[in-house]
Structure 1
Amino acid sequence: MNVKIIKGAKDYEAAMARLSALMSLNFKPNSKEENELELLALVVQDFERQTVPPIQTDPIESILFRMDQMQLSRKDLIPYIGSNSKVSEVLSRKRPLSLPMIRRLNRGLGIPADILIEDIETDSSVLDEDPEVDYSRFPLKEMLERGYFGDFEGNVQRLKDYAEDLIRKFMQELLPTRVEPAFLRAPMHQRGDRQADETAILAWRMCVLRKAREVIPTKEYRQDIVTPAWLRELAKLSAFDEGPKLAREYLARYGITLVIEKHFKHTFLDGAAMLDGGRPIVALTLRHDRVDSFWFALLHELAHVAQHLNPELPVFVDDLERTNSQSVESEADAMAREALIPEATWTHAKVRQTLASEDAIELAHEIGVHPAIVAGRLRHEEKNFRLLSHLMGKAGDIGRMLSP
């Protein structure tokens, strides 16, 4: 017996000739000829698997075949595919099958899911159960406009038709398939008493995670790094024209990723602190076009990182306009305020009596922060948001500074 690994066409032809010759013999069981035949067949099969592409089944042909078997008309496919026009577009290959269509065709007509699913990255197990969420409720149009759905084209209705496909594909790039349901149900602490759209908040979190994953950390985060003194040094960067950019670099040196992602409608988001494995992510929306808002939101989320973020509470989402009695928010507010303007300094600050811009600027220089931070604290305390408006700066400039 002289069976060799097949390395090319000549070896394959010789192996097939020998295989044919062995199959024509009338040998005894367990003979050396039978053993050679079995081993040679395995070698040939392995070579063919490596060199011959698998036959691709065509989902449309499978549907047409089942229609012929069951004597179904195109009208009979409407419950599975949708309107008559959608049936026509699918059968003429002008419209791809969506996951809901595939799920209905699989259950209703018994066509195997593996035949209907053309995307090799999609596991057929997604069809075993009905979706846990209504994918059409995601902010699909906004996500499309931000480029999160690649080259997908279509109107709002088409977006809804393919919502599950688009969101699942988006999530597959972030998470293993089997983790998706857990991610959808992940516990989240949310500040604010307005009725925010939870699906839109989830979409925003996914977009933040995607951006954060594009940043390769150069340092590993150490859990005890964010201290009051560390935050105070960070706050002093606000005095520089490129303070936000310096802040991002400052955080990166300690294994923390800063992401800017505009909020979606009906989310009322200012920022969030999130854990991705062991790496903290601080995400800001720049919803309010003020420099003081950027710095307070940044330090507030970092206070969550220092005091509250853990695997049991991996996400803190904040609407900083709203207050509530939860101690974790009061703690984060206090830590952020102290880092920006120490309470001992603020208690005796002259500007609290005069409300004058020159005193606000003097105090800002004294403690080493941007004048907008002093003006913002004063405006909040006085409940007068017209006060010292000329000192506030524009957060839009921050957005451009931190854009890729």
Structure 2
Amino acid sequence: MSDQNLKIIKTEEQYHSYLEECEFLLDKAPSAGSPESDRLDLLTLLIEKYEEQNFPIEPIDPIEAIKFRMNEQGLKQVDLAPYFGTKSRVSEVLSGKRPLTVQMIRALSSGLGISVETLVGLHVDESQDSRSSDTINWKLFPLSEMISRGWISNIQNKARNKDIVEDSLKKFIGVLSDNNHQPAAAFKRTLQGEAYSPNKKYSIFAWLSKVVQEASLDPVVNDFKQGSLNKEFLKELAHLSWFDEGPKLAIEFIEKHGIKVVIEPALKGMSLDGAALRTPAGNPVIGLTIREDRLDNFWFTLLHETVHIWKHLDTGSTFVDDLERSTEDKIEAEANRIARDTFIPRVAWKRSEAYLRPTRESIEQFAKDLKIHPAIIAGRIRRESGNFKVFADLVGYGEVRKHFSKFSVEEKL
């Protein structure tokens, strides 16, 4: 290993030299805080900077994005007919013979979750949509489900008076604002993330309100300190995945640092994994739905939302995330990258046997080396390859909800 001071990478030769040194240090597995560990972190930053400047990500082709989502969701061309109008138009668009129309783009964005930016190659300003309106249509709340789940208990299901219903919903939603008597202020929260959908806005606000209520009923003991969140915090959190009781240990660890974690299953039709937000009092909260009872989904969601708490809540946004979708949003992409690199350092990933020759044995060995659960590695292979049939026995199906009493109650209802 060279003793010379590290410098900004300017040549390809220097780039490969730094990669080799990274590989050497990774093999030594230096302890956190050691000079070698600090040097490894600095090398990684320099390499990432060089790669960002010299290997830019090319804009995603709209047709390729559609085909990727079809493969991801197991869709055939006939399944896309509702978005294009006819079967023949699907074939014509996917073959490049017919351009996408505005109506197609709107339908694909809403139905398949592909961003408008990807489909048209332009940034679309959504700041003037219905979420900014002071007018609330109380009929659009999923009232029946809210009642059945015990969220609103003072309304008789068969004799709903309009004024009573509206008053109850105002109180329920009002917890999202500084003043419980101003539910319209709650609706001015800026929602960001791939789980946001105008069609599900009322369900999202109902769910967020429940999360804030739960956080207020059982607050954390310790005060949150922004400075407590850093790379070492994330690494320690990631290493808890190694343990059988990892999900419970992780939530205990996060709450000891002043961040409340609320587990609340999503309402029907919501494509939501998690959320990061602040209460009106300014306290950080992570909401988890655990809609996918899989370890790989749980751990990635938890770190993704923790990154939002660390990096992004000062923007004033509430983040609602569907992490099964791909994203081009810069903030979401940053949260994905930091979470991904915390579990598996970028340099280590591309040189690992699990990446080059994925087998059960190589995945389990790599997980042991990194001190993380094999499900995280298996999940990444499935995601990057687009093949969700492989390593299904390694991603930890049925290994999350069993740790939380919330689901034993929900499943009886």
Q: Smaller-chain TM-score range?
A: 0.5 to 0.7
One of 376, 386, 389 as aligned partner of 2:389: 386
C-alpha change, 1:324 and 1:171, in structure 2 (3 Å) is closer
Task: State how many pairs are aligned.
Answer: 271
Aligned position for 2:167:
165
Q: What do residues 136-181 of structure 1 show as CA deviations (whole Å, max 9, x unaligned)?
A: 21111221121111254324x8387743132123246676334422
Q: 2:244 aligns with which of 241, 247, 260?
A: 241
Q: Which residue of 1 aligns with 2:99?
A: none
- 1:276-295 alignment runs, 5 A limit: 276=279, 277-295=281-299
Letter in 1 for 2:299: W
Structure 1 unaligned blocks of 5 or more: 1-130
Q: TM-score, normalised by structure 2?
A: 0.61
Residue 185 of structure 2 aligns with which residue?
182
Alpha-carbon shift at residue 196 of structure 1 (Å): 4.4
Match for residue 352 of structure 1 among 339, 350, 355:
355
Give the equivalent residue in structure 1 for 2:228: 225
| Distance change in 2, residues 1:193/1:325 (3 Å) | farther
Distance change (3 Å), C-alpha of 1:279 and 1:268: same
SS at match of 2:376: helix
Q: What are the superposed Cα offsets for residues 66-102 of structure 1, whole Å, 9 maximum, x if unpaired?
A: xxxxxxxxxxxxxxxxxxxxxxxxxxxxxxxxxxxxx
Contact 1:198-1:267 within 8 A present in 2 as well:
no
Distance change >3 Å, CA 359–CA 172, structure 1 → 2? same
Q: CA deviation at 1:229?
A: 1.6
Q: CA RMSD in A?
A: 2.2
| Structure 2 partner of 1:138 | 141
**Which of 305, 323, 333 is residue 320 of structure 1 equivalent to?**
323
Tell me the equivalent position of 1:205: 208
Give the letter aligned to residue 237 of structure 2.
L
Partner of 2:284: helix, strand, or coil? strand
Q: Which whole-Å deviations, capped at 9, do the CAs of 1:91-149 have from their partners, x for residues lacking one?
A: xxxxxxxxxxxxxxxxxxxxxxxxxxxxxxxxxxxxxxxx8311121111221121111
* CA positional deviation for 1:285: 1.0
Q: Which has the larger radius of gyration?
A: 1
Instruction: For 2:304 and 2:192, locate their aligned partners in 1 and report how far apart those are by CA, in whole Å.
Output: 14
Q: CA deviation at 1:390?
A: 0.7
Paired residues for 1:116-127 under 5 Å: none
SS in 2 for 1:380: helix
Instruction: Kindly state the Cα deviation for residue 281 of structure 1 after the two structures are TM-superposed.
Output: 0.5
Change (3 A) 1:318 1:160: farther
8 Å CA contact 1:260–1:399 kept in 2: the answer is no
Deviation at 1:299, TM superposition (A): 0.5
Q: Which residue pairs with 1:342 in the alignment?
A: 345
Q: Does 1:150 align with 2:156?
A: no
Check conservation: 2:147, 2:157, Cα contact below 8 A: no
What amino acid maps onto 2:165 in structure 1? Answer: A
SS of the counterpart of 2:227? coil
Tell me which residue corresponds to 2:32. Answer: none
CA distance in 1, matches of 2:357, 2:155: 57
CA distance in 1, matches of 2:244, 2:368: 14
Partner of 1:3: none
- Conserved 8 A contact 2:194-2:320: yes
What are the ranges of 5 or more consecutive residues in structure 2 without an aligned counterpart? 1-133, 407-413
Quick one: structure 1 residues 166 and 151, their matched pair in 2 at CA, closer, same or farther if it must change by over 3 Å?
A: closer
| Residue 255 of structure 2 is aligned to residue 252 of structure 1 | yes
| Pairing 1:370–2:373 present | yes
Residue type of the alignment partner of 1:354: R
Check conservation: 1:221, 1:278, Cα contact below 8 A: no
Contact 1:196/1:268 (<8 A) preserved: no
- When residues 218 and 341 of structure 1 are mapped into structure 2, their CA distance, relative to the original with a 3 A threshold, is same
Give the aligned partner of residue 304 of structure 2. Answer: 300
Residues 207-238 of structure 1 show CA distances to partners (whole Å, capped at 9, x for unaligned) of: 11111112222111111222122101101111
**1:203 offset after TM fit, Å?**
0.5
Distance 1:355 1:159, change over 3 A: farther
Query: What is the match of residue 15 of structure 1?
Result: none
**Structure 1 residue 351: Cα displacement:** 1.5
Aligned partners of 2:380 and 2:254: how far apart in 1?
A: 24
TM-score normalised by L of structure 1: 0.63
Provide the identity percentage. 36
1:204 CA displacement:
0.7
